[in-house]
Amino acid sequence: MTRIETVRLRAVLDSRGNKTVEADVLTESGGFGRAAAPSGASTGEYEAIELPVNEAIAAAREHAVPRLEGRVYAGDQREVDDTLRAADGTEDFSEIGANSAVAISMAAAKAAADVLGAPLYQHLGGAFRGGNFPIPLGNVVGGGEHAQEATAIQEFLSAPVGAPSVKDAVFANAQVHGEIGSLLEERGTPAAKGDEGAWAPSISDAEAFELVEEAVETVSDDVGFEIKFGLDMAAAETFEDGEYVYGDEVRSTEEQIDYVAGLVDEYDLAYVEDPLDEDAYEAFAELTERVGSQTLICGDDLFVTNVERLEAGIDVDAANSILIKPNQIGTLSDAFDAIELATRNGYETVVSHRSGETEDATIAHLAVATDAPFIKTGTVGGERTAKLNELIRIADEAL
Ligand SMILES: C=C(OP(=O)(O)O)C(=O)O
Ligand SMILES: [Mg+2]
């Protein structure tokens, strides 16, 4: 019923104005799915390979499409993804590109859901899913690789942990973003926006902490539920010759651990992503030992949605949470495997967008399908609200 008839690939624009891969999958019974690959800027060294778009499309047309058309069922996601892996023949999708692979993988899932007449989250997660919703972590101030002349820390994330519903949480994050805009205006601090729509003022990290703390407190008082905040420190981007360089601050590994542990205490942080380098399993473990009962220590560049790297982390208690980015590993099946391994080992999952995004809302469904406790997908901007509004629609059963 869901046998793939046609796979079409094209280049479209992402939110940075770069080209990215879009895939259409059509089944013999008339099912249709369309998906597009996102793209990172602060990419981890161990991520699957994103090829230049024209190369990725040409290679996928040559190697993957003939193996899928007329041969593989879109409803059998494992077979779709195994076929992509076999067509590629490498560990890291360097032949057809993780950008082609993830677009086809996600488009096939959507085509199968279309044939079944089920929402994507139900096709991926089963009939009993749809009752739990992730807490959205919303980037409200940021810099690093996502904006020039802004904070050294990549992301300050609003975390509406006490929100009674996903809709309240989404609106609260937007309100925090708006409140920060007002505070910056009052202070006469000009601010552009970074790649993910967060404010990117030219202020120090210390000033950003005060600003975000004030905004979440103000909005929390207004909406009547608890809003905390968290960070993506993207430390691998700042790690040079054994030291962490954040603006004028240079810290050894031990100093970085002390600094982050101090921030967790001082600001009661809900979440800290990539506080240390992408190879620093032992240092991660030391920090998790110190503050892991108070906050989430999340591996993004550390784990790159890869079960082998996650297993190595689980072995040494490196973290208590993992970021899940399907394009980091190349297929939905691989992302599911990482989620399953994480969940079985008590790690919280955070399904995530990339800094370069499209209108594609697959990750909203992936988060609901897997009962992910968190989703990180920005706060404002059309490519971010595409996912946030989809969560609201899923909760409203208005798909
Ligand atoms: C979303 C992120 O940024 P990028 O997509 O640039 O890796 C991140 O680092 O978590
Ligand atoms: Mg990150």
User: What are the tokens at 273?
Assistant: 């992503």
Mean pLDDT score, 112-129: 97
Average pLDDT, the chain: 97
Distance 30 CA to ligand 1 centre (A): 36
Write down the catalytic residue from 50, 179, 196, 383.
Answer: 196
| Residue to mutate (ligand 1; options 15, 16, 20, 42; most atoms within 8 A of CB) | 42
| CATH (one of 1.10.10.10, 3.20.20.100, 3.30.750.210, 3.20.20.120) for 135-395 | 3.20.20.120
pLDDT of 247 over the 80 cut? no
Domain positions in the chain are 4-117, 135-395
Write down the catalytic residue from 193, 228, 325, 387.
Answer: 325
Tell me the β-bridge partners of 158.
Answer: 138, 229
User: What are the tokens at 350?
Assistant: 């955070």
Q: Write the pLDDT tens digit of every residue in 325-359.
A: 999 999 999 999 999 999 999 999 999 999 999 99
pLDDT band for position 249 (50/70/90)?
Answer: confident
Distance 166 CA to ligand 2 centre (A): 22
Mean pLDDT score, 121-144: 96
> With pLDDT > 90 as the criterion, what percentage of the chain qualifies?
97
| Residue to mutate (ligand 1; options 14, 45, 154; most atoms within 8 A of CB) | 154
| CATH (one of 3.30.390.10, 3.40.50.300, 2.30.30.20, 3.30.1330.40) for 4-117 | 3.30.390.10
Q: Write the pLDDT tens digit of every residue in 146-166.
A: 999 999 999 999 999 999 999
User: What are the tokens at 290?
Assistant: 């110190």
- Residue 84: the pLDDT is 98
Q: Are 11 and 190 in contact (CB under 8 A)?
A: no
> Is-catalytic flag, 196?
yes
Q: Are 98 and 31 in contact (CB under 8 A)?
A: no
Q: Write the pLDDT tens digit of every residue in 31-71.
A: 999 999 999 998 999 999 999 999 999 999 999 999 999 99
220: three-class secondary structure by DSSP: helix
Looking at the whole model, is its pTM more than 0.95?
yes
Q: Is 366 in the pocket of ligand 1 (CB under 6 A)?
A: no
**34 labelled ligand-binding:** no
Q: Write the pLDDT tens digit of every residue in 182-233.
A: 999 999 999 999 999 999 999 999 999 999 999 999 999 999 999 999 999 9
- Residue 396: the pLDDT is 95
Closest CA to 330 of 127, 48, 76, 77: 48
Distances (CA, A) of 112 to 3, 173, 182, 372, 377: 9, 33, 45, 22, 25
Q: Are 208 and 153 in contact (CB under 8 A)?
A: yes
pLDDT band for position 248 (50/70/90)?
Answer: confident
Distance 41 CA to ligand 1 centre (A): 6
| Residue to mutate (ligand 1; options 354, 363, 384; most atoms within 8 A of CB) | 354
Q: Are 79 and 108 in contact (CB under 8 A)?
A: no
Question: Residue type for 246, please?
Answer: Y
> Is-catalytic flag, 149?
no
Distance 299 CA to ligand 2 centre (A): 8
Q: Is 43 in the pocket of ligand 1 (CB under 6 A)?
A: yes
- Taking the alpha carbons at both ends of the chain, their separation in whole angstroms is 23
**317 labelled ligand-binding:** no
pLDDT band for position 398 (50/70/90)?
Answer: confident
- What ipTM was estimated for this complex? 0.99
**348 labelled ligand-binding:** no
Pairing mode, if any, of strands 32-36 and 19-27? antiparallel
Q: Write the pLDDT tens digit of every residue in 263-298.
A: 999 999 999 999 999 999 999 999 999 999 999 999
270: three-class secondary structure by DSSP: coil
**29 labelled ligand-binding:** no
C-alpha span between 338 and 225 (Å, rounded) = 32
pLDDT of 130 over the 80 cut? yes
Q: Write the pLDDT tens digit of every residue in 83-108.
A: 999 999 999 999 999 999 999 999 99
